[in-house]
Amino acid sequence: MESIYKAGNFGPKVKSDCQITLKITESGGVNISLKSKVEKYFVNHLQKLIKSVLTYYKILNCNVLLEDSGALDYVIIARLESAIKQVIQTTENYLPKAINRDSEVLKDSFRRSRLYLPGNTPKFFFNAGLYYSDGVIFDLEDSVAPEKKDEARTLVRNAIIAGDYGKSEIMLRINQLPLGLKDLEAVVGFGVDTVLVPKCESADEIQQIDAKIKELTDKQIYIMPIIESAMGVMKAFEIATASENIVALTIGLEDYTADLGVQRTFEGKESEFARNMLVNAAKAAGIQAIDSVFSDVENMEALYENAQRSKAMGFDGMGCIHPRQIDVIHQAFAPTEKEIEKAKKIILAFNQAKKEGKGVISLNSKMIDPPVVKRAETTITLAIKNEILDENWEDQKND
């Protein structure tokens, strides 16, 4: 009796994906059938790719049907691996060729924008690096159906290994515990920079995740809890200080307002308390505060206003659900001319004081302490990053 296993997606509206149908047989060797627009150009390559995965997993007798709608190699590999792992119990992974990444993510890296990528929909992966968001979030939680979680883990793992996302921070939104621990096992050791923890309500959750990450990899992995409930808001500082690897707190307002039993509005009055609590908890813990996504992807003017309000409240960035939101958010969180001029004066005064060997720094008879200097440095860096200020501004000032 033949056993049939499937993985992936195929259909008239599906792009950049494929569906693998795997039939295990008792004999007859490996037989591969292709249904693809590029079949006549890449038939040998596709057959070789499929055979290499089957050989790796010691599948000697089977029929494979690849229904392809423009999938890249790492997607095909992921879909075939997912089908195979319905047949055999194994912890072995067939990994695609890794791309070299030359960007370094730090605890205080800018996180003005973070673009969400649904974890089981590869068409959103390929161009994500072209939009220059500060981070890309591979989402294994809300955007992935329960029955597709295993497939999505394998796909996201391969996408992180083989995809080019420029200098964007690679983020992974896991599921709530305990399922999230399975996400970590499958993905976190393959190039993830930061783990997002949804619906976080306690320090214990963070400590479990922190311990699991340390068990899985020696690499520095940061953590970003997402506060999405009244309980999470009330425990924001406890959560923010649960691990030295936490880089930011962020808030999810759709779930938060649902927990309150109220409607989310454009003005945001219903969430002001929660957002202020989150900002204060984050700043008290010495980490960043990141605001929720703005769901109206057509209204750029409203997005800009919303982002400016976020900046005024003390937030350092926002989430994005569409690439067109990224530039608007960067503009809104960019420093103003007044902020830049003030920061320049502070930096110049600080550098002059150092040159003169002074232990006390003052500007216009006001003392300047280290936090003020650090904030000024951040403003200058942001201005340069947004191409508002030339990186050699000090030399130009002295000319």
Residue for token pair 């306690």:
202
Confidence at residue 111, expressed as pLDDT on a 0 to 100 scale:
96
What is the phi/psi pair of residue 354, to 5°? -65, -40
Tokens describing residue 202:
């306690």
Query: What pTM, to 2 d.p., does this model score?
Result: 0.91
First to last CA, the chain: 83
- What is the rounded CA–CA span in Å between residue 399 and residue 397? 6
- Model pLDDT, residue 242: 98
Using DSSP bridges, classify how beta strands 30-35 and 194-197 pair: parallel, antiparallel or unpaired. Answer: unpaired
Ramachandran bin of 116, using left for φ above 0, alpha for ψ from -120 to 50, beta for the remaining angles: beta
- Burial of 393 by CB count in 10 Å (0-12 exposed, 13-18 middle, 19+ buried)? middle
207 HSE (CA, 13 A, CB side): 7
Contact 136, 165 (CB under 8 A): yes
pLDDT of residue 286: 94
In CATH terms, the fold of domain 113-333 is TIM Barrel (3.20.20)
Question: Do the domains 3-84 and 113-333 sit in the same CATH topology, yes or no?
Answer: no
> How many Cα atoms occupy the beta-carbon half-sphere of 234 within 13 Å?
4
Closest CA to 330 of 349, 347, 344, 310: 310
Task: Name the architecture of domain 3-84.
Answer: 2-Layer Sandwich (3.30)
pLDDT along the chain (399 residues), means of 10: 85 94 94 85 91 96 95 97 95 94 89 97 94 97 96 98 96 97 97 97 97 97 98 98 98 96 90 97 97 94 95 96 96 93 89 76 75 88 88 73
pLDDT value at residue 1: 47
Give the count of beta carbons closer than 10 Å to the beta carbon of residue 307.
24
Domain-wise residue ranges, the chain: 3-84, 113-333, 337-398
What does the block give as tokens for 279? 């900002």
Strands 194-197 and 366-367: unpaired
Please report how many Cα atoms fall inside a 13 Å half-sphere around the Cα of residue 120, on the Cβ side.
21
Report how far Cα 296 is from the mean position of its chain's Cα atoms.
20
Q: Give the three-state DSSP class for 300.
A: helix
Positive or negative: CA dihedral 351, 356, 362, 365: negative
SS3 call for 117: strand
Are 361 and 368 in contact by the 8 Å Cβ rule? The answer is: yes
